[in-house]
A and B are shown apart, each in its own frame.
Chain A
Amino acid sequence: MASANEEIFVELCMLLEPFNKVKATLSRKTDISSDLNIDSVSVMDFIMEIEDKYDIDIPLNMLSDIRTLDELTGVVEARITGVKA
């Protein structure tokens, strides 16, 4: 059975699809902003989709520390755990 972290990663890839205009292959190492060539507003829109999917908040000031999908997956996992705790 896939780990919670892996399930989140797969879900994030699905949520990212509408924003992946360059049709880049997504991996944990994908740099959300530069590899996908998406602008700052689209990144925030993507984050909002994640927030609604998991019923969590990811404050905008956290975004500057998140570059890759792997880092984002980790943040989402931590926020979910935080909510449940």
Chain B
Amino acid sequence: MSDLLQKHAGLAERHKQMLALGADAVGVRMDEILSPTRAIINGAETILAGTNNYMGLTFDEACIKAGIKAMETFGTGTTGSRIANGSYSLHQTLEAELADYLHRKHVIIFSTGYQANLGMLAGLAGPDDTIFLDADSHASIYDGCRLSGAQLVRFRHNDAADLEKRLARMGNDGGGRLVVLEGIYSMYGDRAPLAEFVDVKARHNFSLLVDEAHSLGVLGEGGRGLADEAGLEDEVDFVVGTFSKSLGAVGGYGAGNQDLFNAIRYAARAYMFSASSSPSAIATVTEAVRQLKARPELRDAIRRNSKQLFEGFKGLGLELCCDVVSPVIAVRVLDEQTAIGLWNALLTAGVYVNLAIPPGTPNASCLLRCSVSAAHSPEEIARIIEIFGDVCVPLVRAKVAADV
């Protein structure tokens, strides 16, 4: 019998090589979280620029109060799934308030964002259907698609013409067709050209699902994401999102207007066979949704901060992965070794970002990925730019000199 774990020896070796370069970027320990933008890492106060805490609500007073009250009233956990063990009124309140905020008739909440994609995709598509997914889709979308048993066709990233070619080539075999896009793509920070895809939808009959995980709260006048920004919410049939970014807790959701939408609850195993979210998480998310509604200034702050960091990095001559300002700002570097070295130097200098390397990145790119928060002060953003200047710019200069 072969050793089951032997197949992972290559992964273990890659991690060992990372440690040999002096950094464990996939095992960072935060000893204290001081605020949405500060933590103690390796004994030093560090600016957090890789949290996806877009609205900075994790320490919001009202959210914390709501969480404490829910824990005192409903206990620490639900100890079961909503199908088998019942819903708490908190879950239904959140579903109703989120549906109202999203301008959708129905919302189903899941215990994590990853499960929201598993549940929605496997709940919507089956073996007789075809899912067309963007090449740069998040792992949870790939996994949900596989779980559905549907025929899977991958189209080139953000390329509506390529999707159209594939739709035409596959033909219409009578099964359902679902196209999956993301509002903001998590690695490069670019967004789907929604109007172009909607244009294709007018010529080819399909349902459209948009994952607004990174765009909820961030894009659109109402903060409802890319479809809100593009004024095309009526063209989007299904929305998926997460509670772990702009809403500052953990969980996810699917939303739609269809009469049969709630039947997904009885079809999606990720919903049926998973314990429901804890009372404190649900209560903090409900309060966070209210904050998104009541405080448009949070959207102004994240846009202002994103612009400051984007322009600061541009000014340094860093190579960014996206030309449009978004809260996800990724700096492309030469290779994995360089990325690990720079990541470590950035942390030592006082800023935490995400190390992003293949296969988690598009086109085998190596990235120092930053995410901006509405809670960053202008001084913190300025300091992040300054540290990147000190750590990364000498390398950029050396590369330019070498190229000349």
Contacts and interface: CB of A to CB of B under 8 A. Distances in A.
Interface of A: 37, 39-42, 44-45, 47-48, 55-57, 59-61
Interface stretch (B20-28, B60-68, B78-86, B147-155): B147-155
Given A59-B153, A60-B152, A61-B152, A39 B359 contact: yes
Contact of B169 (A37, A41, A55): A55
A48 B135 contact: yes
Contacts of A41: 358-359, 362, 364
16 contacts: A37-B10, A39-B358, A39-B359, A42-B359, A47-B154, A48-B135, A57-B153, A57-B169, A59-B130, A59-B151, A60-B145, A60-B152, A60-B153, A60-B154, A61-B146, A61-B150
A41 B139 CA distance: 10
Contact of A57 (B170, B358, B364): B170
Interface residues of B, number: 19
Given A59-B152, A61-B151, 17 more contacts: A39-B358, A41-B358, A41-B362, A41-B364, A44-B135, A48-B135, A48-B156, A56-B169, A57-B153, A57-B169, A57-B170, A59-B130, A59-B151, A59-B153, A60-B146, A60-B153, A60-B154
Contacts of A39: 358-359
Nearest to B152: A60
Contacts of A37: 10
A42 B170 contact: no
B383 interface: no
B141 to A, nearest CB: 12
Given A48-B156, A60-B152, A42 B146 contact: no
B166 interface: yes
Interface of A is mostly: helix
A47 B135 CA distance: 12
Interface string B248-272: 0000000000000000000000000
Contacts, number: 38
A41 B134 CA distance: 12
A10 B135 CA distance: 26
Nearest to B148: A61
Contacts of A48: 135, 154, 156
A48 B363 CA distance: 13
A31 B358 CA distance: 20
Contacts of B135: 44-45, 48
Nearest to A56: B169
B208 to A, nearest CB: 19
Contacts of B169: 55-57
B160 to A, nearest CB: 16
Contacts of A59: 130, 151-153
B364 A44 contact: no
Nearest to A40: B359
Contacts of B153: 57, 59-60
A56 B153 CA distance: 11
Nearest to A39: B359
A42 B170 CA distance: 23
A40 B135 CA distance: 12
A44 B154 contact: yes
A24 B146 CA distance: 30
9 closest A-B pairs by beta carbon, nearest first, are A39-B359, A60-B152, A41-B359, A59-B151, A59-B152, A61-B152, A57-B169, A57-B170, A40-B359
A36 B149 CA distance: 28
A37 B362 CA distance: 17
Nearest to B169: A57
A59 to B, nearest CB: 5
Contact of A42 (B149, B150, B166, B364): B364
A57 B166 contact: yes
A44 B137 CA distance: 12
Interface string B140-183: 00000110011111101000000000100110000000000000
